[in-house]
Structure 1
Amino acid sequence: MNIRLTGTPDELREACARLGEVFELRELSEPYRNRGASKLYRVYVDVDLPTAGTSPSTSASPPPLRIARRELK
């Protein structure tokens, strides 16, 4: 499944961490700044439902969400 998240950098970090508790995270995009004067960002998360032999807590974690400081103005 593909999920798009929109929020502040802190909200996105927390949301990605919480998704990892429920789903198997396969991929996490780089953050993209929303258009216009918005101070929000968006990320795209690719997830799988846990199977009988796996659990989200044992699956590999995606890389940490990094947002360049110059973009946080």
Structure 2
Amino acid sequence: MKIRLEGTPQEIEQAVTALREVFEVQEVSGFYKNRGQSVLGRVYVTVQLLARRVVHAEATRITPGKPSVGRRTRKELEN
């Protein structure tokens, strides 16, 4: 896939770093400055979905009919 990023050089650098957490980044183009006096520019990134990704999550078991602290029952949500 190809993704176009637009922003300042620092914003684009941060975005590419974030993309590396979700995709296999295969290629990042050079920075193309926008026309005129703009400080923004663009970069083209070629990525591929990662084959396997480990997701760490926490879960809380809820007993049916007994909402956990801070949670509302379905009846409460419907009102």
Q: If the TM-score is normalised by the length of the shorter chain, which range does it land in?
A: 0.5 to 0.7
Paired position in structure 1 for 2:38:
38
Q: C-alpha displacement at 1:9, in angstroms?
A: 1.0
Amino acid at match of 2:30: E
For 2:38, what is the secondary structure of its paired residue?
Answer: coil
Identity %: 53
Paired position in structure 2 for 1:15:
15
- The list of structure 1 runs, each at least 4 consecutive aligned residues, that deviate by more than 6 angstroms after superposition, is none
TM-score (norm 2): 0.63
Greater helix content: 1
TM-score (norm 1): 0.68
Query: Paired residues, what number?
Result: 53
Paired position in structure 2 for 1:50:
50
Q: Which runs of 5+ in 1 are unaligned?
A: 56-73
Q: Which runs of 5+ in 2 are unaligned?
A: 54-79
Counterparts of 1:10 and 1:27 in 2: how far apart (Å)? 18
Look at both structures and tell me which one has the larger radius of gyration over its CA atoms.
Answer: 2
Paired position in structure 1 for 2:24:
24
CA RMSD of aligned residues (A): 1.1
